[in-house]
Amino acid sequence: KAGVTQTPRYLIKTRGQQVTLSCSPISGHRSVSWYQQTPGQGLQFLFEYFSETQRNKGNFPGRFSGRQFSNSRSEMNVSTLELGDSALYLCASSLAQAFGELFFGEGSRLTVL
Amino acid sequence: DAKTTQPNSMESNEEEPVHLPCNHSTISGTDYIHWYRQLPSQGPEYVIHGLTSNVNNRMASLAIAEDRKSSTLILHRATLRDAAVYYCILRDREGGSEKLVFGKGTKLTVNP
């Protein structure tokens, strides 16, 4: 069974640009959640989607947004990038519960210059 | 937000038990306690979770204090593959919404 796939794995952007990251969950998993990991702040929860609806949300500004498609694939978007947005963005999927056993992808590493 | 506090690092020898502590003194009655671990260059991996009672699975045991203000992840026999950063996480429910609140994690070193 294929794991959680995140693309791209690495990307470099400049301040003010926007970025879209993609996450394909494990087949049959309907919940997808996103996390930001930085050396200073550690792991922080961004948001969680289920059945194309944002079900839970962390404490991030509106520049961070996401969506989920009917096949459960999810994307997250960060607009007007800031240097502090440089981070590893992790996606996780689970069967249905928001925070049951989560299966994480390897992450997308974003560098903002 | 509920918070968790973990030691920055711990060291163990192979084949010995490891007890990883976590303090969560502001935990609410509905917060679940989750543990994940992260190996270098990988995403986190689920270890175990619980609410009130002690929990066991093939990977580890979770001992939860009676007042729920602390918990301990127990690896019964550490192996070199257990070297990772271990995160104690609360599933925080507030106003009908849930979120995960991560601690800073404990880096576990396992010596051969």
pLDDT of B81 reads: 94
Distance from CA of A94 to the nearest CA of B (A): 11
pLDDT of B28 reads: 85
pLDDT of A8 reads: 97
**pLDDT tens, residue by residue, A45-93:** 999 999 999 999 999 999 999 999 999 999 999 999 999 999 999 999 9
> Residue B109: helix, strand or coil by DSSP?
strand
**What burial class does residue A25 get, using C-beta atoms within 10 Å of its C-beta: 0-12 exposed, 13-18 middle, 19+ buried?**
buried
| A21 at B interface, C-beta within 8 A | no
Q: Which residues contact B34 (CB under 8 A, 6 or more apart)?
A: A99, B46, B48, B49, B88, B89, B90, B91, B100
Q: What's the CA gap between B5 and B87, in Å, rounded?
A: 10
pLDDT of B2 reads: 64
Backbone angles phi, psi at A85, to 5 degrees: -85, -5
Instruction: Report the percent of chain A where pLDDT is more than 70.
Output: 99
> Residue A98 pLDDT > 80, yes or no?
no
Question: Residue B99 is nearest to which of A42, A58, A104, comparing CB atoms?
Answer: A58
pLDDT of B94 reads: 76
**pLDDT tens, residue by residue, A5-34:** 999 999 999 999 999 999 999 999 999 999
State which residue of chain B sits closest to A55, comparing Cα positions: B97
Tens of pLDDT, residue by residue, chain B (112 residues):
668 999 999 999 999 999 999 999 888 888 889 999 999 889 999 999 999 889 999 889 999 999 999 999 999 999 999 999 999 999 887 777 888 888 899 999 999 9
Question: Residue B46 is nearest to which of A98, A102, A106, comparing CB atoms?
Answer: A102
Cα A9 to the chain's mean position, in Å? Answer: 12
Q: What's the CA gap between A79 and A92, in Å, rounded?
A: 22
Q: What's the CA gap between A67 and A53, in Å, rounded?
A: 7
